[in-house]
Chains A and B, each alone.
Chain A
């Protein structure tokens, strides 16, 4: 979590001075639902199959074919609504959104319009406007140099993706900074992953995000003219794209210009923002109720079924980790919002032999020592360090069988080769030295070798102890317990 995750709406954007412009950001997130079959037909969802092999008359929009709504997608939609605290509409309807494009075989997308499945709600500090269900478009592949439709030699269509169920989640414009937007999106992703309703993989397109961005004088209540930035396919691009668009609007406004309502494309390669279409060019989608489908009536049994499938969500997990497990608020949030870390931590905690052992220490080892060795974003479950191993290691350190420094060496070995901490300690001779004569002798040698430092410590400069301790640790290969070393130094110096 970066510091800006907690930024409140009164802060100025992007570190600007007070009185400057404030960014107002809302997100529209498309989530591919992990149902077995498509939104309106029986085709199985596609995961990289050869093009146009997961199709049927319905998702190809062949003449005479009709849609039938996927009950599982409605179920997942209700789970999302419950997770976001939305009002679940007792009756919602599908609409047709009409426009022509080769990736849209019927000439309309079946979506929801003024009667969506879920209304309102919130996640963290961000209010949810609505959640609705719709079908994904097919995939257009532009053959030729540019990779975009303009300037391509030909375009070919793969209908495997066409008709994949989507939940569109629309936030209120409650975000203020690019960092806050990407942090919040991570929280949403974790929440959705926890629900099991989607693979939420941005690179593969199962989670896609558009941002509505406007600027206004800081503290103003009216919204400025917004632009819509399309399809940024990674967290990094979302931050960069929003930052670039804020900068573009800021420059425009400060230069005396005005922002024009339009849809924009962010090119992460060049950082350039280009216009896709202006308000005047905007489609008139001619929404009308889809006559081929009946209204979706949500009965209590459907809500009960969705509730029964709910797992603990990140916000609730953070609260439990803080209150029941006794972690600091910061650790609890980190473990809860990065669900895979939380799962790993809880597995390690369950393997802890001593129920009285402080969980916070284990949490520190997992979120600090382990994460820094594996790299950000790596799931520790797929590393060689088994949760029981890190639990045992933390136990060895806590019981002073192993010093902290030696414990880090053990962890290095666990990350590299896996294995059992006690075996590593035995094999490498890393067991902590007790405070007996051997250690006292090494301390005495250290004081002798660092006579100047010893004098300064005796004269009242505690920081001068560094070289002495360093000598002891070198000599003991880190096996000495730091507290014991410190006690012996003080004893031998008579202070």
Chain B
């Protein structure tokens, strides 16, 4: 099989080829390793998707050329992993200077599970620092560029993962989503991104941003790949007290029709603030859904417009505490020649963290302060409860909710860096689902001004199997062509 042919394969198709013996896992690894390493070597001239690339195929992949790889569900197919997943002995820096060169002594549970299922670690992907950002411009290791237009951002915070998959530098990738960090970059890069139900995938070994929201998920070329990767990731992990046993096995999607399916379109997330081209693409997707036999009706998520405000209290509050461990005492960056303990803390954290991380730590510290707790954190939690109730009510009437994933297509590098609020609005449509802890998937639904538009499908907790089926049917009807990005 030629390198070009190999690149055309989805990860599932590649796994099937390996299982059938028509492709070796080592060969597949080498094709992607070469492309990823070239991007890393190109520095500013490349997409800057990676912070680390494996030098060669893991021994297991090389040794297990024949039946062994094929016998495992992921068949040795290489995987790009967001930098914030701890990988033993491999730099895990969460996009931050404060963890520059940090080599964890253990591997995150999600990565271990995928390794056990036959995934081989290809690369660590660039990301916004501590997953705080929607453009990947907050990385201490430089911005990632969008393969559809290199002057534009790939979205964030899993920007490296999304761009790598879109550009064919990795067959698939692992990302994390706190307020949209899988779905929004997937949308901006024209690929599939799934945020599972909160608790479905272990968070153990994910360098935390906001514990009550962080969730790992796949970024893939198509819905089938997302299902396959998810299938091997989910499950209760005794190291993560908030992880849950998925109530049933994840199945690979097959649906092609949507007869009997009812979609709800919330007015609150599909009107003002959404770019015209995005809305046009979104409405065209609704027509395709009707063509497949689905019903589309209006629903209300009355509190959704407040989601972003609540999110920007809760997430920074948790982050301010989660990031307290980066104090220069035990690992990572430490300021040189500190005068005393306070000086070490202050300068280590000032110099080690980027501006957006410092901003959110300060926001969160303020929100939790004595005397302000009830007005900010307490109130934000009450809004969160209301948002969950809105979804519950909506799902009593409809099966799934459809929205655009992001209000805009990929924007220019530097376009929003001076205006944090407009940057925060990038997650307007994705944050409500994060607060409610429900699964949501973004699939590409068309182009606007030559740039991908994402369609978000959200379901009730643990509805992943049906959600993937629906997304699969829509994907077939939308027939999005992602190949222009793979050059």
Partners in one complex: yes
**Contact between A64 and B325, CB atoms less than 8 A apart:** no
Report the Cα distance A286→B92, complex, angstroms.
29
Q: Is the CB of A63 within 8 A of B369?
A: no
Per-residue CB proximity of A289-318 to B under 8 Å, as 1/0?
A: 001111000000000000000000000000
Which residue from A57, A67, A98, A287 sits with its C-beta under 8 Å from B324? A98
The answer to the question of B330 belonging to the interface, with a C-beta cut-off of 8 Å to chain A, is: yes
Docked-complex contact A63 and B99, CB < 8 angstroms: yes
A69 is an interface residue with CB less than 8 A from chain B: yes
Tell yes or no: A147 within 8 A of B by CB: no
Find A102's partner among B205, B212, B341 (CB 8 Å cutoff).
B341
| B370 is an interface residue with CB less than 8 A from chain A | yes
Residues of B near A66 (CB, < 8 A) are: 203-204, 239-241
Is B411 located at the chain interface by the 8 A CB criterion? no
Q: A105-B329, A105-B330 are in contact. Are A62 and B104 (CB under 8 A)?
A: yes
| Shortest beta-carbon distance from B347 to chain A in Å | 13
Q: How far is the CA of A295 from the CA of B317 in the complex (A)?
A: 19
Shortest CB-to-CB span from A425 to chain B, Å, is 64
Contact A65 B369, beta carbon cutoff 8 Å: no
Check A96 against B321 for contact (C-beta < 8 Å): yes
Residues of chain B in range 187-222 having any CB-CB distance to chain A below 8 Å: 203-208, 210-212
Residue contact A65 to B321, C-beta cutoff 8 Å: no
Q: Which residues of A contact B205 (CB under 8 A)?
A: 64-65
- Could you say which of B102, B106, B323 has the most chain A C-beta atoms within 10 Å of its C-beta? B106
Partner of A67 from B241, B326, B330, B331 at Cβ < 8 Å: B241
Q: Does A293 contact B241, Cβ atoms closer than 8 Å?
A: yes
Of all chain B residues, the one with the shortest Cβ separation from A103 is B329
Which single member of A102, A106, A286 contacts B365 (CB below 8 Å)? A286
B330: which of A60, A96, A98, A288 is its contact (CB, 8 Å)? A60
Pick from A63, A69, A293: contact of B92, CB under 8 Å = A63
A63/B324 contact (C-beta < 8 A), A157-B329, A286-B370, A291-B211 known: no
Give Cα A292 to B318, complex, Å. 10
Question: Is B241 within 8 A of A291, CB to CB?
Answer: no
Whether the Cβ atoms of A105 and B238 lie closer than 8 Å is no
Query: Which of B96-130 touch A at CB < 8 Å?
Result: 99, 102, 104-106, 108
**Cβ of B324: which chain A residues have Cβ within 8 Å of it?**
98, 100, 106-108
**Which residues of the partner chain A approach B373 to less than 8 Å between Cβ atoms?**
286-288
Chain B residue at minimum C-beta to C-beta distance from A288? B368
- CB of B228, distance to nearest CB on chain A (Å): 25
Q: When each residue 58-84 of chain B gets 1 if its CB lies under 8 Å from chain A and 0 otherwise, what string results?
A: 000000000000000000000000001
Task: Assess whether A61 is interfacial by the CB under 8 Å rule.
Answer: yes
List the count of A-B residue pairs having beta carbons below 8 Å apart: 102
**How many angstroms from the CA of A57 to the CA of B106 in the assembled complex?**
8
Question: How far, in Å, is B115 (CB) from chain A's closest CB?
Answer: 16
Report yes or no: B241 in contact with A100, Cβ–Cβ below 8 A. no
* Closest B residue to A98 using CB positions: B321
**Which residue of B has the minimal Cβ distance to A96?**
B321
Contact check, A291 vs B329: say whether CB atoms are below 8 A apart: no
Complex Cα–Cα for A106 and B331 (A): 12
Which residues from B are CB-within-8-Å of A324?
none
Q: Which residues of A contact B238 (CB under 8 A)?
A: 68
Cα of A65 to Cα of B241 in the assembled complex, Å? 11
Closest to A101 in B: B341
Which of chain A's residues 122-157 have a Cβ closer than 8 Å to chain B? 149, 157
Residue ID in chain B nearest A283 by CB atoms: B370
Asked if residues A288 and B377 are in contact (CB atoms below 8 Å), the reply is: yes
B134 interface residue per 8 A CB criterion: no
Contacts of A65 in B (CB 8 A): 204-205
Q: Which residues of A contact B323 (CB under 8 A)?
A: 107
A284 CB-CB contact with B under 8 Å: yes
Q: B173 within 8 Å of A by Cβ?
A: no
A108 B329 Cβ-Cβ under 8 A: no
Q: A60-B330, A105-B330, A107-B327 are in contact. Are A68 and B241 (CB under 8 A)?
A: yes
A284 to B84, CA, bound (A): 30
Size bin of chain B's contact surface: 35 or more
Contact A105 B325 (CB under 8 A): yes
Q: Given A63-B102, A64-B205, A107-B327, A284–B317 Cβ distance below 8 Å?
A: no
Q: Are B207 and A63 in contact, with the CB atoms below 8 A?
A: yes
Residues on B with beta carbons closer than 8 Å to the beta carbon of A57? 104-106
Kindly state whether residue B246 has any CB partner on chain A within 8 Å: no
Also in contact, A294 and B105, with CB within 8 A (given A64-B207, A100-B324): no
Closest chain-B Cβ to A116's Cβ sits at a distance in Å of 18
A294 touches B321 (CB 8 A): no
In the bound complex, CA of A218 to CA of B239 (Å): 55
A67 to B321, CA, bound (A): 14
Cross-chain contact B321 with A62 (CB below 8 angstroms): no
C-alpha gap A105/B328 in the complex (Å): 10
Which A210-239 residues have a C-beta within 8 angstroms of B?
none
Which residues of chain B are within 8 angstroms of A96 by Cβ–Cβ distance?
321
What residues of chain A lie closer than 8 Å to B106, measured between beta carbons? 57, 62
Q: Are A64 and B108 in contact (CB under 8 A)?
A: yes
Q: Judging by beta carbons under 8 Å apart, are B208 and A64 in contact?
A: yes
Contact of B317 (CB < 8 Å), options: A69, A105, A288: A288
Residues of B within 8 A of A157 (CB): 329-330
B424 at the interface (CB under 8 A from A): no
Smallest CB-CB separation from B364: which chain A residue?
A286
A292 touches B211 (CB 8 A): yes
Most B CB within 10 A of own CB, among A68, A98, A108, A292? A292
Q: How far is the CB of A72 from chain B (nearest CB, A)?
A: 15
> Contacting A288 at CB < 8 Å: which of B92, B206, B321?
B321
In the complex, B86 has a CB within 8 A of chain A: yes
- A100 contact set on B, CB distance < 8 A: 324, 327, 345
Shortest distance in angstroms between B327's beta carbon and chain A's nearest beta carbon?
6
Cβ contact within 8 Å between A284 and B325: no
Query: Please, what's the 1-or-0 string for A336-361, where 1 marks a CB less than 8 Å from any CB in chain B?
Result: 00000000000000000000000000
Residues on A with beta carbons closer than 8 Å to the beta carbon of B204:
64-66
CA distance A57 to B86 in the complex (A): 11
Asked if B465 lies at the interface with its beta carbon under 8 angstroms from chain A, I say: no
Complex contacts, A64 vs chain B, CB 8 Å: 84-86, 92, 104, 108, 204-208
State whether the Cβ of B94 lies closer than 8 Å to any Cβ in chain A. Answer: yes
How far does the alpha carbon of A66 sit from the alpha carbon of B206 in the complex, in Å? 9
Chain B residues with CB below 8 A from A106, complex form? 324-325
**Cβ of B242 under 8 Å from chain A:** yes
The interface residues of chain B lying within 8 Å CB-to-CB of A67 are: 241
Most buried by B among A57, A66, A284: A66
**A61, B325: Cβ atoms under 8 Å?**
yes
**Taking the nearest CB of chain A, how far is it from the CB of B441, in angstroms?**
24
Instruction: Please give the distance in Å from A130's CB to the nearest CB on chain B.
Output: 20
Min Cβ gap A328→B in Å is 53
Q: Which residues of B contact A288 (CB under 8 A)?
A: 317-318, 321, 368, 373, 377
How many angstroms from the CA of A66 to the CA of B370 in the assembled complex? Answer: 26
Q: Which residues in B have their C-beta under 8 angstroms from that of A98? A: 320-321, 324, 368
Nearest residue, chain A, Cβ from B329: A102
CB–CB B325/A63 < 8 A: yes
Between-chain CB contacts (< 8 Å), 27 pairs: A62-B106, A62-B331, A63-B325, A63-B331, A64-B84, A64-B206, A65-B204, A65-B205, A66-B204, A68-B240, A98-B321, A98-B324, A100-B327, A100-B345, A102-B329, A105-B325, A105-B329, A105-B330, A107-B323, A107-B324, A107-B325, A284-B370, A288-B368, A288-B377, A293-B242, A294-B241, A294-B242
Mark A residues whose CB is within 8 Å of B.
Answer: 57, 60-69, 96, 98, 100, 102, 105-108, 149, 157, 284, 286-288, 291-294
| Further 13 A-B residue pairs, CB within 8 A, beyond A105-B325, A291-B242 | A63-B325, A64-B85, A98-B321, A102-B327, A106-B325, A107-B324, A108-B321, A149-B341, A157-B329, A284-B369, A288-B317, A292-B241, A292-B242
* Interface of B toward A, CB cutoff 8 Å: 84-86, 92, 94, 99, 102, 104-106, 108, 203-208, 210-212, 238-242, 317-318, 320-321, 323-327, 329-331, 341, 345, 365, 368-370, 373, 377
Closest 8 CB pairs of A and B: A107-B324, A286-B368, A291-B211, A291-B212, A64-B205, A63-B207, A64-B86, A61-B325
